[in-house]
C-alpha cells in the first residue's frame, strides 16, 4: 500500500481498555499532539478495526488523534470470532454511547469526527445524536444501510461487474437460499461449528476485500480473510445489516437538519462498488453546505492514493479551526 500522501508514521503516547458495560472492553489509543485539536477516527466494517496507518491522515503537530476499536473487533474484547460470540450488546446505540464515554473519559469537550464506509454511517448517527460534541465531520465512502445499498452489494447488483468474484461469494449458499443472501449468511456465520462459520466468513470477507479497491490488492484480501479477522468482520457486518443499523429507512440522510451547521467534507470514489456514489450524492443533495469531493480515479478504500490525498486535504483544512 502506497501511503505517500499521508503524514509520516507515528506511535501512540497513551492507550488503554475502556470498560463500557455489558462485559465489553474497548481498546483505544491517542497519538499526535497531546494539546492539539481532538479528532476521533471511526473505522469501517462494522467490525473492521483500526490500524497504525490510520493515524497518518492527521497532522501530528496539530491534532490529538484518537483511534479505538469498536465492540467485538480489533483489540477490543470479547472478540466476535469466539464460537459463542454474543452480539446482543453490539448495536448502533451501544457504539454511540461508547464514543461519548470515551470522549468524556479523555476530557475532550468536542472533537472532529472522521469516518469512512460504515464509519461514515456511525459518524452521521453520532453527530445527529450529539451535535454539540462535534466540531467538524470528515466522511468517506458514504454508507447508510438503506435497503437499496445492501441489496446492491450483497444481493446481486454488484455481481454484474464482478461475476467471477460473485461466484465465490454465493458458493457457500445452496441455490434455493440465494434469493436472500444476507439472511442465508446469517444462519451460517452464527452457527457454532467452525466448519460452518469459518468458510462462510472467509467467503463474505473475500468478496468485500476483492472489490473495495479500484485495482485488486492482494494484501487487503489476505488481511481480511485471515480466520479470526474474517469471522469477527463478517459476523458483526451481517448482524448490523440484518438489523438495518436499527434505523428507519433513510434515517441518516433525513436527519441532516440536526447537523447542517457543522462544517463537513464528503469524499467519494467515483468507482466505489461497495458503497456506490448514489448514496454520497443523495447526502450531498440533502446537505449542499458540506463540501463534496469526488475522486475520479478511485474505488472505495481509504488506502487508494486519490482518497488518501482528499482526506488529508480535508483534515488539513480544519486543522487550525
- Give catalytic residue positions: 117, 272, 300
> Would you say how long the chain is, in residues?
321
Rounded CA gap, 155 and 204, in Å? 12
- Decide: 10 and 36 in contact? Cβ < 8 Å: no
**Backbone torsions φ then ψ of 233, nearest 5 degrees:** -60, -50
Instruction: Return the axis-axis angle of helices 163-170 and 194-211, rounded to nearest 10°.
Output: 160
- Report the Cα 196 to chain-centroid distance in Å: 26
Rounded CA gap, 126 and 118, in Å? 12
Instruction: Look up residue 26 and give its three cell numbers.
Output: 474497548
Rounded CA gap, 317 and 321, in Å? 8
End-to-end CA distance of the chain: 31
Residues 6+ positions from 253 with CB-CB distance below 8 Å:
144, 282, 283, 286
Please list the helix, strand and coil fractions of the chain in percent, rounded to the nearest 5, in that order.
45, 15, 40
**Bridge pairing between strands 37-42 and 63-68:** parallel
Nearest-5° angle of CA 292, CA 296, CA 299? 95
Amino acid at each position: 500500500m502506497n501511503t505517500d500522501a499521508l503524514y509520516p508514521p507515528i506511535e501512540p503516547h497513551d492507550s488503554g481498555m475502556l470498560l463500557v458495560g455489558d462485559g465489553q472492553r474497548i481498546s483505544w489509543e491517542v497519538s499526535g499532539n497531546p494539546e492539539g485539536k481532538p479528532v476521533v477516527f471511526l473505522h469501517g466494517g462494522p467490525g473492521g478495526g483500526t490500524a497504525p496507518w490510520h493515524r497518518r491522515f492527521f497532522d501530528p503537530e496539530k491534532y490529538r488523534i484518537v483511534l479505538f476499536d469498536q465492540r467485538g473487533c480489533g483489540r477490543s474484547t470479547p472478540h466476535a470470532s469466539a464460537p459463542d460470540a454474543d452480539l446482543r450488546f453490539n448495536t448502533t446505540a451501544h457504539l454511540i454511547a461508547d464514543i461519548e464515554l470515551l470522549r468524556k473519559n479523555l476530557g475532550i469537550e468536542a472533537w472532529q469526527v472522521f469516518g469512512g464506509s460504515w464509519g461514515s454511517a456511525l459518524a452521521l448517527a453520532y453527530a445527529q445524536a450529539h451535535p454539540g460534541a462535534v466540531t467538524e465531520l470528515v466522511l468517506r465512502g458514504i454508507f447508510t444501510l438503506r435497503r437499496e445499498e445492501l441489496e446492491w452489494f450483497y444481493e446481486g447488483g454488484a455481481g454484474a461487474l464482478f461475476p467471477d468474484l460473485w461466484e465465490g461469494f454465493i458458493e457457500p449458499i445452496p441455490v434455493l437460499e440465494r434469493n436472500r443472501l444476507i439472511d442465508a449468511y446469517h444462519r451460517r456465520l452464527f452457527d457454532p461449528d467452525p466448519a460452518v462459520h469459518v468458510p462462510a466468513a472467509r467467503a463474505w470477507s473475500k468478496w468485500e476485500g476483492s472489490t473495495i479497491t479500484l485495482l485488486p490488492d492482494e494484501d487487503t484480501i489476505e488481511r481480511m480473510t485471515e480466520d479470526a479477522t474474517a469471522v469477527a468482520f463478517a459476523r458483526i457486518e451481517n448482524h448490523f445489516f440484518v438489523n438495518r443499523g436499527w434505523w428507519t429507512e433513510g434515517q441518516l440522510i433525513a436527519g441532516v437538519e440536526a447537523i447542517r451547521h457543522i462544517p463537513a467534507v464528503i469524499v467519494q470514489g467515483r468507482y466505489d462498488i461497495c458503497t456506490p456514489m448514489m448514496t454520497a450524492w443523495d447526502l450531498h443533495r440533502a446537505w449542499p453546505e458540506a463540501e463534496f469531493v469526488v475522486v475520479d480515479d478511485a474505488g472505495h478504500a481509504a488506502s487508494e492514493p486519490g482518497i488518501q490525498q482528499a482526506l488529508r486535504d480535508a483534515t488539513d483544512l480544519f486543522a487550525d479551526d
